[in-house]
Amino acid sequence: MPEAPVQSGGVATLEYEAVPAVERDEARGPLGTVVMKFGGTSVAGPERLKEVARRLVSAREAGNRVVGVLSAMGESTDDLIALAHQVSSRPVARELDMLISVGERISCALAAMAIHDLGHEAISLTGSQAGIVTDTVHGKAKIVEVRARRIHEALDDDRIVLVAGFQGVSTAYDVTTLGRGGSDTTAVALAAALGAESCEIYTDVEGVFTADPRIVPSARKLHAVSYDEMLELAASGAKVLQLRAVEFARNHHVRLHVRSTFSDAAGTWIREEDERMLEKAIISGVTHTYEELVYRVRGVRPAPLFADLAEAGVNVDTIVQTGDEIVFSAPADDGTQTAAALERLGVDWSARDDLGKVSVVGAGMKSHPGVAARAFAALDDAGIDTEIVSTSPIKIACHVRRDDVERAVATLHEAFELDAPEAERAHA
Ligand code: ADP
Ligand code: ASP
Ligand code: MG
């Protein structure tokens, strides 16, 4: 792809879409319902699945009504997608959803078997059987309704209910999937619909960290993060929670506990903002993503451009307009639709795939000046150039060269002293 010069300056927009209303079935007395979600690494093999079954059984034996939401085993969603591409260069979206929804069903059926062996009743349900109704957008469907009757009946029958994550049934009766990482959203939607006491997201790290612990080994586990901060963290690349899951949690007041499958340590609570969260640390974390392309477009006004991109289902992130040039970023996964929309418009356009985005997020930024100055000074000292800068009230995001991303994350993490114990907000 041709390289395009990209300018600094401008303001990003980050629009959170409304999520559907959920009817809580409080008449059934859902006291003590817990939703426990386990990610791919947590169910990666038979032994891990058996361990997950034991965790679910312990929660049941402690007196809870237990709903488990499971992801596909290990990398199996990636494997299924790769398989589809071996058979077809452009897999039909409906059939791709039929295929990749299978991984979560496998995990749930196996976990149900393991739970039976532990002497408890369990039932596995597909997203459709669990009453998760979505719109008709294959590959990134949105939940429009949760009809939880079947889950309630199974819980009333004293069973542990296992729901296949990441999927639902559309209003046109087709199987849909909720986008990568979508099992998080299944779990939160069910927690909201069931009026659950808690929604626990079990994963392969101990919580939400001040940066991806795989890149910054000195990153600290955050004790508590507000919904707004977590929205920005998730939107800007902290893939530990799917963005839509956080939106759902915020809109339905579901408190989330992100924690490790492999230990009993307390993890990170995602909940309403609390002044104590901001007392010690202005910044909650530094995130990064490589999964965006940056487009430069000329010869079109913003209104028709973004109308067309929206129509094509492209999730535009940063937008910068300077004179008759518009620069925007969009997910690499939406690359085909974006290119098709730009071709349809007949505009002069180019795209860059050699940039990554590094963001500094923190609710304390609203009331503390000088955060931008400190970030840019640190990047400057490290010899890292920023290509596009965008902000929200609680975020500063910089596109930098891909090769500089990891160094930029480490530099900003150090500049805001996020490896200090105070960064954890352990008092909250
Ligand atoms: P799961 O399969 O359990 O859903 P994911 O792979 O989706 O797990 O998310 C967990 C991963 O998110 C971690 O292994 C970690 O590398 C990555 N990650 C990125 N940023 C962060 C962060 N700020 N805090 C914690 N984990 C992060
Ligand atoms: N298995 C799906 C994925 O890999 C959904 C999930 O794990 O949340 O994206
Ligand atoms: Mg995930």
Mean pLDDT of 387-397: 92
- pLDDT tens for each residue of 304-351: 999 999 999 899 999 999 999 999 999 998 999 999 999 999 999 999
- By most ligand atoms within 8 Å of CB, the mutation choice from 49, 183, 205, 257 for ligand 1 is 205
Query: Would you state the structure tokens that stand for residue 100, as one six-digit string?
Result: 């990749």
Report whether pLDDT(376) > 90.
yes
| Among protein residues, the one whose CA lies closest to atom 10 of ligand 1 | 240
Q: Is the CB of 242 under 6 A from ligand 1?
A: no
The pLDDT confidence band at residue 238, using thresholds 50, 70 and 90, is very high
Ligand nearest to the CA of 239: 1
Look at residue 96 and give its three-state secondary structure: helix
pLDDT exceeds 70 at position 280: no
**What is the mean pLDDT of the segment spanning 66-94?**
97
Q: Using pLDDT thresholds of 50, 70 and 90, give the confidence band for residue 20.
A: low
In the reported structure, the alpha carbon of residue 184 is separated from the centroid of ligand 2 by a whole-number distance in angstroms of 8
Give the model's pLDDT for residue 1. Answer: 40
Looking at residue 395, what is its pLDDT? 95
Q: Tell me, in angstroms, the distance from the centre of ligand 1 to residue 313's CA.
A: 26
Q: Examine the pLDDT at 204 and tell me if it is beyond 70.
A: yes
Question: Would you list the DSSP string of 168-190?
Answer: EEETTS-EEE--TTTHHHHHHHH
Model confidence at 8: pLDDT above 50: no
pLDDT by residue (tens digit) across 24-55? 555 544 459 999 999 999 999 999 999 999 99
State the Cα–Cα distance between residues 202 and 184, nearest whole angstrom. Answer: 10
Place of tokens 């690359």: 335
Q: Is 182's C-beta closer than 6 angstroms to any atom of ligand 2?
A: yes
Q: Is the pLDDT of residue 5 over 50?
A: no
Calculate mean pLDDT across residues 54-72: 97
Closest residue to atom 5 of ligand 1, CA basis? 240
State how far the Cα of 424 lies from the Cα of 284, in Å rounded to an integer.
8
Which residue intervals of 62-174 are DSSP H helices? 76-87, 93-100, 102-117, 149-156
Cβ–Cβ < 8 Å for 37, 199: yes
Q: Is the pLDDT of residue 279 over 80?
A: no
- Cβ-contact 66, 60 below 8 angstroms: yes
The residue whose CB lies within 8 Å of the most ligand 2 atoms, and thus the one to mutate among 79, 166, 188, 242, is: 166
Q: What φ, ψ does residue 146 adopt, rounded to 5°? A: -125, 120
Say which DSSP state 404 is in: G
pLDDT at 13: 36
**pLDDT mean over 98-114:** 98
Measured CA to CA, the distance from residue 361 to residue 259 in angstroms comes to: 21
Q: Which atom of ligand 1 lies at the shortest distance from residue 211's CA?
A: 23
Please give the number of the atom of ligand 2 that sits closest to the Cα of 40.
7
Give CA–CA dist 168/71, Å, rounded: 14
pLDDT in tens, 165-192: 999 999 999 999 999 999 999 999 999 9
How many angstroms separate the CA atoms of 294 and 2, rounded?
Answer: 11
pLDDT at 254 over 90: yes
For position 7, what pLDDT does the model report?
A: 41
Q: What is the CA radius of gyration of the chain?
A: 22
**How far apart are the CA of 83 and the centre of ligand 2, in A?**
16
| pLDDT tens column, 342-364 | 999 999 999 999 999 999 999 88
Q: What is the mean pLDDT of residues 72-97?
A: 97
Report the predicted TM-score, pTM, of the whole model to 2 decimal places. Answer: 0.91
pLDDT above 70 covers what percent of the chain?
91
Distance of CA 107 to the CA centre of its chain: 20
Average pLDDT over residues 218-227: 94
Q: Are 141 and 131 in contact (CB under 8 A)?
A: no
Q: Is the CB of 39 under 6 A from ligand 1?
A: yes
Predicted pLDDT at 309:
96
pLDDT digits (tens, 9 = 90+) for 395-426: 999 999 999 999 999 999 999 999 998 888 76
Task: Say if residue 83's pLDDT is above 60.
Answer: yes
Alpha helices in 313-384 (DSSP H): 335-345, 371-381
- Tell whether ligand 1 has an atom less than 6 A from the beta carbon of residue 232: no
> Looking at the predicted structure, is the pLDDT value of residue 12 above 70?
no
In the chain, % of residues over pLDDT 90: 84
- Residue 135 pLDDT > 60, yes or no? yes
Q: What is the pLDDT of residue 19?
A: 57
Q: Whose CA is nearest to atom 12 of ligand 1?
A: 240
Q: Which atom of ligand 1 is nearest to the CA of 261?
A: 3
What span, in angstroms and rounded, lies between the C-alpha atoms of 284 and 282? 7
- 239 CA distance to ligand 2 middle (Å): 11
> Residue 369: which pLDDT band, with cuts at 50, 70 and 90?
confident
Q: Please tell me the residue having the least CA distance from ligand 2 atom 6.
A: 181
